[in-house]
Amino acid sequence: MCLCCIVPDSVLEKLLQDRKLPEEARQGLSQTIKLDSEIRKLRRQASRLTSFEFAAKISIAPSPAIVVYDCNHSQTLPGTPVSNPGSSRDTTIKTVFSTTTKVSDFYQQVFGRNSIDNAAMTLLSSVHFGDGYNNAFWNGTQMAYGDGNGELFVDFSRGNDVVGHELTHGVTQHTLGLNYTNEPGGLNESISDVFGSMFRQWVAGQSSSQADWLIGSDIVGPAARQRGYSCLRDLANPPAQHCLSPQPKHFSSYQTGMDPHLSSGIPNHAFYLAATKIGGHSWEKMGQVWYAVLTSGRSPGMKMARFAGLTRQFAGSMFPAEPGVLQAVDTAWSTVGL
Instruction: Write out pLDDT tens, residues 4-20.
Output: 788 888 888 888 888 87
Q: Of 229, 237, 41, 206, which is closest to residue 140 (Cα–Cα)?
A: 41
215 and 142 in a common domain: no
Helix (H) or strand (E) run with residue 329 in it: helix 323-335
User: In which band, very low, low, confident or very high, does the pLDDT at 247 lie, cut at 50, 70 and 90?
Assistant: very high
User: In which band, very low, low, confident or very high, does the pLDDT at 1 lie, cut at 50, 70 and 90?
Assistant: very low
- pLDDT value of position 10: 80
Q: Name the more confident of 303 and 47.
A: 303
pTM of the model as a whole: 0.92
Neighbours of 75 (CB within 10 A): 15
243: DSSP letter: B
Q: Of 185, 166, 213, which is closest to residue 4 (Cα–Cα)?
A: 166
- The number of folded domains in the chain is 2
Q: Do residues 332 and 274 touch, judged by C-beta distance below 8 A?
A: yes
203 and 156 in a common domain: no
- 178 SS3 class: coil
- pLDDT value of position 3: 54
167 and 18 in a common domain: yes
Of the chain, the percentage scoring pLDDT greater than 70 comes to 93
286 and 189 in a common domain: yes
Catalytic residues: 166, 261
- pLDDT value of position 51: 53
User: In which band, very low, low, confident or very high, does the pLDDT at 30 lie, cut at 50, 70 and 90?
Assistant: confident
254 and 186 in a common domain: yes
Q: How far apart are CA 186 and CA 338, in angstroms?
A: 14
Q: Is the pLDDT of residue 191 over 80?
A: yes
- Note the residue count of the chain: 338
Q: How far apart are CA 240 and CA 247, in angstroms?
A: 8
What is the average pLDDT value for the chain, to the nearest integer?
92
Q: How far apart are CA 146 and CA 129, in angstroms?
A: 5
Q: Do residues 192 and 138 touch, judged by C-beta distance below 8 A?
A: no
Backbone angles phi, psi at 155, to 5 degrees: -40, 115
Question: Among residues 173, 200, 218, which one ends one of the domains?
Answer: 173
Q: Which domain holds residue 251?
A: 182-335
Question: Among residues 140, 173, 206, which one ends one of the domains?
Answer: 173
Q: How far apart are CA 199 and CA 107, in angstroms?
A: 9
CATH number, position 316: 1.10.390.10
- pLDDT value of position 219: 97
Q: For residue 233, what are the β-bridge partners?
A: 215
- 40 SS3 class: helix
303 and 242 in a common domain: yes
145 and 9 in a common domain: yes
User: In which band, very low, low, confident or very high, does the pLDDT at 32 lie, cut at 50, 70 and 90?
Assistant: confident
162 and 291 in a common domain: no
CATH number, position 134: 3.10.170.10
Question: Among residues 143, 173, 203, which one ends one of the domains?
Answer: 173
- pLDDT value of position 2: 46
197 and 161 in a common domain: no
Q: How far apart are CA 330 and CA 127, in angstroms?
A: 41
Backbone angles phi, psi at 144, to 5 degrees: -145, 140
